[in-house]
Amino acid sequence: MALKLLDGSEAIVEAAILAGARMYAGYPMSPATELVENMARKMPESGGVCINAATEIEGINIAMGAAATGFRAATGSCGQGLALMQEAIAEAALNETPIVIFNMARNQQDYFQATRGGGWGDYRTITLSPKDIYEAVEHAQLAFHLADKYRVPVIFLGDNLLARTQMGVEVEKIDFGPLPEKDWQLDGTSGGTGNSRQIWTFGGGKANNPGPGPDGHWRRIAEKFDMIAGCEARHEEVFMDDAEVAVIAFGTGGRFVEYVVRELRQEGVKVGMFRPITLWPFPGEALEQATEDCRQVLVFELNAGQMIDDVRLNVADRKKVSAIGGVSFDESGLNLGPLMDARVIRERILTAMEGVA
Amino acid sequence: MEEDLFISGIGGQGIQLVGKALALAAISEGLYVMLTGEYGGHMRGGSSVGSVVFGKSPLKSLPNLPSAAAVIALSDQFFENVGGRLRPASLVLAEETIADKLPQLENPKLVTVPAIALATEAGSRMAAGMAMAGAYAALTGVVTVDSVVAAMKELVPAYRRQHVETNERAIRAGAAAVPPLAYPVSFDEAGAEPVQGIVA
């Protein structure tokens, strides 16, 4: 086995290219800048194209265009950039164009943005939230697979620690199984030939193929997202079997909480961790089962309380649920803050447990 | 077991380079490694902290270390960023001229290295960090001194090739300035940690 010393951004780029990504149209914004820099360096070597788009809106629409012709395509920025992409993400969901959107976020404040979205229509976005570089290498490939499998946009939600920490990793291609043929991809056949193809948000058609129309199209889209919700939720549990207190965390936060939970277990504290790997679909049923016998469910996230909504929706007794996270940035406002620290998390878990029998 | 290390100093001293050289050396020896840098203003004169974790299996350590077993201190300035995160009996590898300015730590294993003098003798005081990297390798055996030299050669960009020989002399001089394997690190651990995890 040959490990390479890569930072998260570089590892993600290598994994994405290995997964067959051939177009990246991104916009540099800290801490997503290294992603577009590495794409620019490596994409041409693989026969692909990297474009530093003039705006985030341009970036995602370029990616959508490439994806419509069958290429694996992605865009990326930080949450501030994804805010501008919301309309196009909704379009891609409703016109069924598989694209991957990398959000190398500055914090954990983009949970609602990722799981609720800001575009119009009945759509959802599969959101993968890796806890470390090892998992990021998997998710950077899985994102393209799921996008193609369901013809949907998929969000990869990282952060500055993931983007910039360097680790010895081996980036290996993962086989996720067969995919349907892209019989919908635009192939250059023009109108008037009888064989042209359309990718259209409103489900309209043409003279020889009228299409389902808006109502039929949007009902089918909604059914598709229901189906995805039923089969693509992923999660990780650590020490949940006999946990009296569950700590719920996502992404990098999950890795930190896992560290603290292992430490507390060695001291005999019956605490466990539950980590949603997909933020949407949220692993609600699994969470309900895992927390059934817990007397407390603590939610650790670096925001004012976003994932906690999904936790309350799924834990049987929502009165057990309380927040132990909060808004926390470093001085620059561009990075996770001092709350993302094992010592602080440990204190908050122990404080929350005091007096609750 | 995982071995962790802080490198603390001032932006411009090559703190991040020391971390990267040790990390690359470890990779070349087949170790798992994690490397992070905390450097406020991305400029000279500001605080610069590097952290490196070494291990023989995929690492569980966090990107911002709550504590570490060792620190390489090239300056007393900004040392407070890591001083409070050392464990009792941590190894403190201090540049000789600043060693007595470091806060008194509880029961440290203090080793001083005249890194600036050694580096100056080797050709450039800028190579003081390299001397400290050599000393750390020789003291702990986490990586070999030869691996550190090879990693340094890989890291120095083409337009700075003229510094390679100075760096190598500094690394070897730093290694020679400390008692070999005085604080050896072993990655073998008695009793595996409890593991229980499922992914669904």
Residue B43 pLDDT greater than 90, yes or no: no
pLDDT of residue A102: 98
Q: What is the pLDDT of residues A35-51, one digit of tens each?
A: 999 999 999 999 999 99
The answer, for A184 touching chain B at a CB cutoff of 8 Å, is: no
Domains in chain B, CATH or no CATH each:
2-176 (3.40.920.10)
> Would you tell me the crossing angle of helices B128-140 and B145-155 to the nearest 10 degrees?
150
B192 band by pLDDT with thresholds 50, 70 and 90: very low
Q: Which residues of B touch A270 (CB under 8 A)?
A: none
Residue A287 in tokens:
């969470």
Contact A53, A27 (CB under 8 A): yes
Residue A324 in tokens:
């132990």
Q: What is the pLDDT of residues A151-191, one digit of tens each?
A: 999 999 999 999 999 999 999 999 999 999 999 999 999 88
CA distances from A288 to A77, A233, A248, A294, B117 (A): 34, 13, 12, 10, 63
- Euclidean distance between CA atoms A153 and B56, whole angstroms: 38
Calculate ∠ Cα A215-A221-A225, nearest 5°.
145
pLDDT of residue B191: 40
The verdict on a CB contact (< 8 Å) between A5 and B33 is yes
Domains in chain A, CATH or no CATH each:
4-169 (3.40.50.970), 235-353 (3.40.50.920)
3 state SS of B189: coil
Average pLDDT over chain A, rounded to an integer: 96
The answer, for A236 touching chain B at a CB cutoff of 8 Å, is: yes
Torsion, Cα A3 B36 A82 A44, to 10 degrees, reads: -40
Poorest-pLDDT segment among A178-182, A304-308, B101-105, B169-173: B101-105
Q: Which residues of A touch B28 (CB under 8 A)?
A: none
Chain B nearest C-alpha distance from A346 (Å): 11
A268 band by pLDDT with thresholds 50, 70 and 90: very high
Nearest to A349 by CA among A282, A237, A262, A251: A262
The answer, for A149 touching chain B at a CB cutoff of 8 Å, is: no
Residues 6+ apart with CB under 8 A from A159: A31, A104, A105, A106, A107, A108, A251, A252, A336
Give just the sign of the alpha carbon dihedral A291, A297, A302, A303. Answer: positive
Task: Quote the percentage of chain A above a pLDDT of 90.
Answer: 92
> Would you tell me the crossing angle of helices B145-155 and B164-176 to the nearest 10 degrees?
160
Q: What is the pLDDT of residues B74-100, one digit of tens each?
A: 999 989 989 888 888 899 999 999 999
Residues 6+ apart with CB under 8 A from A192: none
pLDDT of residue B172: 98
The answer, for A4 touching chain B at a CB cutoff of 8 Å, is: yes
pLDDT of residue A1: 63
Chain B stretch 34-93, residues whose beta carbon is closer than 8 A to a beta carbon of chain A: 34-37, 40, 58-64, 66
Task: Quote the percentage of chain A above a pLDDT of 70.
Answer: 99
Residue A325 pLDDT greater than 80, yes or no: yes
HSE on the CB side for A276, CA within 13 Å? 29
- pLDDT greater at residue B98 or residue B45: B98
Closest-CA residue of chain B to A339:
B64
The verdict on a CB contact (< 8 Å) between B194 and A265 is yes
- pLDDT greater at residue B47 or residue B129: B129
The answer, for B200 touching chain A at a CB cutoff of 8 Å, is: yes
The verdict on a CB contact (< 8 Å) between A238 and B34 is no
The verdict on a CB contact (< 8 Å) between A342 and B196 is no
3 state SS of A190: coil
